[in-house]
């Protein structure tokens, strides 16, 4: 990860976790946990794109692979905390929920949200990843050598 | 004389209304939902995302429905939509070494670390129509086995240890972008790869096949083919650090090609590279073969005059939206152009005396 430091690491992690959540999931978990506080838009939700880059031969020079849809927004709580969201897809409601959690993670609500939103997402994504990996593992070829009839 | 002609509005309106009715088809048959297309016609969705050059499965599924299953029309819709989106920036280059692989095979190394993982493949099926699919049945279930976690190394890394394969040397130059600047020749490799990854699958397949049949033959083996999800990470200026903004499924193909050496390069294996949005195996392999053929100049190979070596020919004809746009425009009204042609032919015939009544055969 670029510019990875102790300070950024947790925020980097939760923003990434929420960006990869299924549609509507962050909002559902957020609303089950807290009542959303008042906020003002710093940047209202906006749908756009990001150019995905890759490297020739996986490790060589970068090239442009194609774009992905992204929704972003930023909001400020009445208490001053700023929340950001950059989320794959075109769901403005998802971006809003992510920015709200991001802002609330800078408040005293952080501990509760960690347990009831972020840890839940983490577990769900791990389970989904593991389920897929287990299906892939079942398609792994076990080669064996036939007994050769040379004597 | 120039004559402006009007009067098609009502016909066009009614044609579009009929199109909508035909799209829906027999109303006694249940309407197809966009989510059904996304889930059950996933490989069509993947192709539309790859050639539409926009990763968004829901949009691609919608485009397929709107286009009545005409994938090039669906790609056209996605390309048109794409131009309406503001560009927030570019991601860091994705790391395919960190891919969560659904499939990962090598045709060159049987016992590669991590193993040969077949994934959800059509390979080894008998290609017999399965009439069970035409009847309602229970949802099938995949087998599972305990998985080993961790990154899956690329196969080419093993050959690198011996120095037997050319290295893809890391650099961080900003690549050119053909969606921003017109594609111009000579095209560097980064530009060629961008054009190829969104190129028409059929065209790319045909070009790749031509190299196998002997037009700029480069003896390709699939060193590795992998399909799976990778995170997309982007620098966020307002935060001052990078964040994963989502995840895309990609198909990556690395070919290992025989190379006997040239004036500038020692004998070693060379590489072709294919990387495409979605599970798009045929396209990724084709891309790798064409990429390799187009590298003849930098590797000091002979120009055999083969179509697949001609970057201008390949890249200017690979885009199915450009191609179909120019091809299909000739069916639109050309009355005035044609009137001029008609006049010309009549005049030439007159000059050639061709307007005489032909004599009856004896």
Question: pLDDT tens digits, residue range A113-134?
Answer: 999 999 999 999 999 999 999 9
With a cut of 80, say whether residue B138 has pLDDT above it. Answer: yes
In the 3-class helix/strand/coil scheme, how is B265-308 assigned residue by residue? CCCCEEEEEEEEECCCHHHHHHHHHHHHHHCCCCCCCCCCCCHH
- Contact: B92, A2; criterion CB under 8 Å: yes
Q: How far apart are CA B230 and CA B147, in angstroms?
A: 18
- Sheet holding B100-105: strands in order across? B100-105, B220-236, B241-257, B270-277
Give residue A92's pLDDT. Answer: 97
Residue B143 tokens, joined: 């087998």
Is the predicted ipTM greater than 0.90, yes or no?
A: yes
Q: How far apart are CA B305 and CA A140, in angstroms?
A: 42
Instruction: Select the more confidently predicted residue: B94 or A145.
Output: B94
**CA-to-CA dists, residue B124 to A14, A78, B42, B109, B128, angstroms:** 42, 61, 20, 19, 11
- Contact: A132, B190; criterion CB under 8 Å: no
User: Is A134 in contact with A126 (CB distance < 8 Å)?
Assistant: no
- DSSP, collapsed to helix, strand or coil, labels residue A132 as helix
Q: Which of B244, B190, B152 is nearest to A2 (CA)?
A: B244
Question: pLDDT tens digits, residue range B237-260?
Answer: 999 999 999 999 999 999 998 777
* Test mutation, A61, A94, A145, chain B, max B CBs within 10 A: A61
- Contact: B247, A61; criterion CB under 8 Å: no
Give residue B268's pLDDT. Answer: 84
Buried b (16+ CB within 10 A) or exposed e, B33-47: ebeebbeebbebbbb
User: How far does the CA of residue A108 sit from the closest CA of chain B (Å)?
Assistant: 21
Question: pLDDT tens digits, residue range B169-210?
Answer: 889 999 999 999 989 899 999 999 999 999 999 999 999 999
With a cut of 60, say whether residue A6 has pLDDT above it. Answer: no
Question: pLDDT tens digits, residue range A85-105?
Answer: 999 999 999 999 999 999 999
Give residue A40's pLDDT. Answer: 97
Beta strands A39-55 and B87-90: pairing type?
parallel
Give residue B318's pLDDT. Answer: 96
Q: Which helix (H) or strand (E) holds B184?
A: none
Question: pLDDT tens digits, residue range B336-347?
Answer: 888 888 888 889
With a cut of 90, say whether residue A84 has pLDDT above it. Answer: yes
- Contact: A53, B91; criterion CB under 8 Å: yes
Q: Does B318 touch chain A (CB under 8 A)?
A: no
Nearest to B190 among A2, A56, A131 (CB): A56
With a cut of 50, say whether residue A1 has pLDDT above it. Answer: no
With a cut of 60, say whether residue B362 has pLDDT above it. Answer: no
Give residue B2's pLDDT. Answer: 53
- Contact: B238, A74; criterion CB under 8 Å: yes
Give me the residue label for tokens 């064409």.
Answer: B290
Give residue A124's pLDDT. Answer: 97
Give residue A151's pLDDT. Answer: 56
Q: How far apart are CA B12 and CA B8, in angstroms?
A: 6
Cα torsion B283, B257, B183, A50: sign = positive
Confidence band of A4 (pLDDT split at 50, 70, 90): very low
Which range among A70-84, B23-37, B235-249, B332-346 shows the weakest confidence by mean pLDDT?
Answer: B332-346
* Test mutation, A20, A65, A118, chain B, max B CBs within 10 A: A65
Please, which residues bridge with residue B55 across strands? A68
Q: Which of B197, B222, B231 is nearest to B49 (CA)?
A: B197
Q: Where are the beta strands (DSSP E) in chain B?
A: 54-55, 87-90, 100-105, 220-236, 241-257, 270-277
Question: pLDDT tens digits, residue range B252-290?
Answer: 999 998 777 777 777 888 899 999 999 999 999 999 999
For chain B, what are the domain ranges? 9-82, 96-119+151-167+181-318, 329-353
With a cut of 60, say whether residue B3 has pLDDT above it. Answer: no
* Test mutation, A50, A125, A130, chain B, max B CBs within 10 A: A50
- Contact: B55, A48; criterion CB under 8 Å: no
For chain A, what are the domain ranges? 9-136
Mean pLDDT estimate for chain B? 91
Please, which residues bridge with residue A68 across strands? A50, B55
Please, which residues bridge with residue B165 across strands? B269
Q: At B254, give phi and psi (nearest 5°).
A: -115, 120
């Amino acid at each position: 990860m670029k510019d990875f430091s102790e300070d950024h690491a947790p925020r980097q992690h939760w923003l990434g976790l929420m960006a990869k959540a299924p549609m509507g999931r962050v909002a559902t978990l957020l609303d089950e946990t807290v009542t959303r506080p008042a906020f003002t838009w710093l940047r209202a939700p906006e749908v756009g794109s990001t150019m995905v880059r890759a490297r020739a031969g996986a490790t060589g020079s970068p090239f442009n692979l194609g774009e992905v849809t992204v929704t972003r927004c930023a909001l400020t709580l009445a208490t001053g905390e700023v929340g950001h969201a950059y989320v794959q897809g075109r769901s403005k409601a998802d971006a809003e929920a992510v920015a709200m959690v991001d802002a609330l993670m800078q408040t005293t609500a952080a501990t509760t949200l960690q347990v009831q939103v972020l840890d839940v997402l983490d577990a769900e994504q791990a389970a989904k990843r593991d389920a897929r990996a287990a299906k892939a593992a079942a398609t792994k070829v076990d080669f064996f050598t036939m007994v050769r009839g040379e004597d | 004389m120039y004559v402006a002609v009007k009067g098609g509005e009502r016909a066009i309106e009614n044609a579009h209304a009929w199109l909508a009715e035909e799209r829906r088809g027999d109303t006694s048959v249940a309407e197809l939902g966009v989510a059904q297309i996304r889930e059950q016609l996933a490989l069509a969705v993947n192709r539309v995302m790859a050639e539409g050059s926009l990763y968004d499965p829901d949009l691609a599924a919608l485009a397929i429905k709107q286009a009545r299953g005409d994938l090039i029309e669906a790609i056209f819709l996605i390309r048109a939509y794409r131009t309406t989106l503001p560009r927030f920036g570019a991601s860091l280059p994705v790391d395919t070494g960190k891919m969560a692989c659904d499939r990962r095979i090598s045709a060159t190394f049987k016992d590669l670390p991590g193993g040969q993982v077949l994934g959800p493949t059509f390979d080894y099926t008998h290609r017999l129509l399965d009439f069970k699919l035409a009847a309602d049945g229970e949802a099938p279930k995949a087998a599972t086995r305990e998985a080993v976690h961790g990154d899956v190394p690329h196969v080419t890394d093993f050959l690198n240890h011996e120095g037997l394969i050319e290295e893809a040397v890391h650099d961080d130059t900003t690549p050119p972008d053909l969606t921003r600047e017109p594609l111009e020749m000579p095209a560097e490799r980064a530009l060629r790869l961008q054009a190829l990854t969104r190129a028409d699958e059929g065209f790319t397949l045909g070009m790749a096949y031509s190299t196998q049949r002997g037009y700029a033959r480069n003896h390709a083996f699939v060193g590795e083919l992998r399909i799976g999800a990778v995170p997309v990470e982007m620098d966020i200026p307002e935060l001052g650090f990078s964040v994963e903004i989502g995840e895309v499924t990609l198909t990556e193909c690395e070919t290992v090609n025989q190379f006997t050496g040239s004036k500038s390069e020692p004998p070693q294996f060379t590489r072709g590279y294919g990387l495409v949005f979605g599970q798009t195996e045929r396209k990724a392999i084709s891309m790798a073969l064409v990429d390799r053929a187009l590298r003849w100049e930098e590797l000091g190979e002979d120009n055999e005059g083969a179509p697949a070596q001609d970057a201008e020919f390949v890249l200017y004809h690979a885009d199915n939206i450009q191609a179909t746009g120019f091809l299909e425009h000739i069916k639109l009204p050309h009355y005035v152009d044609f009137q001029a042609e008609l006049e010309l032919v009549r005049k030439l015939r007159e000059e050639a005396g061709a307007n005489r009544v032909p004599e009856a055969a004896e």
